[in-house]
Structure 1
Amino acid sequence: MYVRVAEHLAARIESGDLRPGQKLPPERELATEYGVAYHTIRKAMQILRDRHMIASVHGRGTFVLPRDEWNAGDGE
């Protein structure tokens, strides 16, 4: 399930629904939105971090990275 969530979030990023520099909703909020457990979101977010599509900043949140930093082939 976490791979599906990661792919859906990646598609939102790729489509521009979530833009570079934009802060993502908190993981607990995403868990509610997707109807999955919190740990499912955490694993999905790790895939996106591994692809360099997002980055977490301690105390500030998780942000979408610019497209030129992405590595879409990694993380699975």
Structure 2
Amino acid sequence: MADTSIPAGYGPDSELDYEGPDPVWLQLTAVMIARIERGDYPVNRPIPSIAGLVQEFGLARGTVRKTTAHLADLGYVRIVNGKGSFVLPRD
């Protein structure tokens, strides 16, 4: 099974390293977690849409979907079909 641990060293304003050793979707996950923890996306509010993140980072839709699903698996967002992904409260 592939390593899905969040790579260190990525902050909310980090650029993705498309040629680096960490998978891009995990880099994006780290950036999104940092943004959520910084408060860029408030609790119970949506994170940017898949289309918005595709445009911002220049990634494929599937890559962004994988990131969003991983954020949900980690308990950072709740995906609501047809509405978006909403930030969950952190304990």
TM-score category of the 2 structures, normalised to the smaller one? 0.7 to 0.9
Question: After TM superposition, what 4+ stretches of structure 1 lie above 4 angstroms from structure 2?
Answer: none
In structure 2, list runs of 5 or more residues that go unmatched.
Answer: 1-23
More helix by share: 1
Q: Aligned AA for 1:63?
A: F
What is the root-mean-square deviation in Å for CA atoms of aligned residues? Answer: 1.0
Greater radius of gyration (CA): 2
Task: Verify the 8 A CA contact 2:68 2:85 in the aligned structure 1.
Answer: no
TM-score by length of 1: 0.82
Higher RCO by CA contacts (8 Å cutoff, separation 6 or greater):
1
Q: Within 5 A, what are the aligned runs for 1:44-63?
A: 44-63=67-86
Shift of 1:23: 1.1
One of 44, 47, 61 as aligned partner of 1:38: 61
Amino acid at match of 2:53: L
Aligned counterpart, 1:7: 30
Count of residue pairs the alignment pairs up: 68
Amino acid at match of 2:59: V
- The whole-number CA distance in structure 2 between the counterparts of 1:42 and 1:5 is 11
Aligned residue type for 2:32: L
Match of 1:67, SS? coil
TM-score by length of 2: 0.70
**1:67 aligned onto 2:61:** no
Q: Distance in 1 between matches of 2:45 and 2:52?
A: 16
Structure 1: 5+ residue stretches without partners: 69-76
